[in-house]
A and B are shown apart, each in its own frame.
Chain A
């Protein structure tokens, strides 16, 4: 197969564009697509400080790499979740990438800062792992961005991620998530940072190809908690359609942006956000979902420790306190800002 531009040996066929590119021309194509996404959607400028949510996977590292090459002011943020070997390896790869590019990487260690890894947080707060994980990541991304004066958080969600989320939202008519699905989620509060997805024009396979051709050493293995996720089923279904009918994913998602977004934006309702009484981050309730989760988990953990001790020592068991914490959360502010909750918010939420 020949490169559509130079007739040299092609490295990647892009059937949805009826094209094939050699390595240099593919890299050029990729950069142009990202640049175009950033400009068309007015995501950020060269003056803005961009915080890139880095997971050590192909999408986030490819995104960070291309933003640096395009001379954007991009700093990485890696959240260490404490998910065994997966977390160790993904942190090592993120740190190595930052060093190789001479780029700044902020590392937040969840177990160190909140005393629990994702599994413990989930178990002690009565959530499933991905729920505790996603909530923590959204909270920490926003908090770090606001505290350190970043203008925008960029995540590595690609076309396939967005198409799969859209498909899930349509299959289950999750109207409130549909209304908020967009490549740019504007800031709705002074302490709620703007979120953008500069890879929404890039197919997942192209993001992986970019990483390989740039020699980026990313983590290929997946988080053990992702096995059997429904989003993977949707992706598989979409890829079956794509194989028979190239351009399906693009037509689904870009068509949604073109035809439905403007109509949905018109009906989008504003929500009033106020400050969390405990941490000051914006929330719809009195106490934000993250504080509720961590406080509930900490109370449970203390109760366990107390029970494990001889009866007369220590304060009375706090089980009642833990049980008194309502299980239902205030709406997660990040969700209001637009992250669909019923389905994956994507790989690079997957930090």
Chain B
């Protein structure tokens, strides 16, 4: 399957069909920090993605302003 990743945006190939939870484990990503998207559908962790699929793993964590002051 083709997997689209971000920060920076890039693509990779992952062999075989897998459950979403396994795919995220393989990519070493915390399921709390991403959404897995296929087309206009959100996939839950128990769903399976196949060889022919294109899935986007989109990070949801944002808002990292740098500290306005140095640490005390």
Contacts and interface: CB of A to CB of B under 8 A. Distances in A.
B70 to A, nearest CB: 9
B61 A342 contact: no
Contact of B68 (A10, A13, A128, A160): A128
Given A205-B60, A221-B9, A130 B42 contact: no
B67 A232 contact: no
Interface string A40-71: 00000000000000000111000000000000
A11 B41 contact: yes
A230 B67 contact: yes
Nearest to B47: A1
A341 B35 contact: no
Interface of A: 1, 10-13, 20, 23, 57-59, 127-131, 133-134, 160-161, 172, 204-205, 207-209, 212-213, 215, 220-223, 225-232, 235-236, 239-240, 242-243, 341-350
Contacts of A215: 40
Given A11-B41, A221-B7, A222-B7, A347 B32 contact: no
B63 A341 contact: no
B56 to A, nearest CB: 9
A212 B35 contact: yes
B10 interface: no
Interface in B29-68: 30-35, 37, 40-42, 44-47, 58-68
Given A236-B33, A239-B33, A350 B65 contact: yes
B72 interface: yes
Contact of A20 (B7, B8, B44): B44
B60 A342 contact: no
A220 B58 contact: yes
Contact of B61 (A235, A341, A349): A235
Interface of B: 6-9, 30-35, 37, 40-42, 44-47, 58-69, 71-72
Contact of B66 (A58, A59, A229, A346): A229
A341 B44 contact: no
Contact of B6 (A221, A236, A341, A350): A221
Contact of A229 (B30, B46, B67, B72): B67
Contact of A342 (B6, B46, B68): B68
B66 A207 contact: no
B60 A207 contact: yes
A133 B33 CA distance: 26
Q: Which 7 A-B pairs have the closest CB atoms?
A: A229-B64, A347-B63, A226-B64, A344-B65, A208-B60, A131-B68, A239-B32
B53 to A, nearest CB: 16
Contact of B42 (A213, A222, A230, A243): A213
Given A205-B32, A239-B33, A11 B65 contact: no
Contacts of B58: 208, 212, 220
Nearest to B66: A130
Nearest to B69: A342
Contact of B64 (A11, A131, A212, A344): A344
Nearest to A343: B67
A134 B65 contact: yes
Given A243-B32, A347-B62, A1 B46 contact: yes
A10 B41 CA distance: 10
B66 A57 contact: no
Nearest to A131: B68
B42 A11 contact: yes
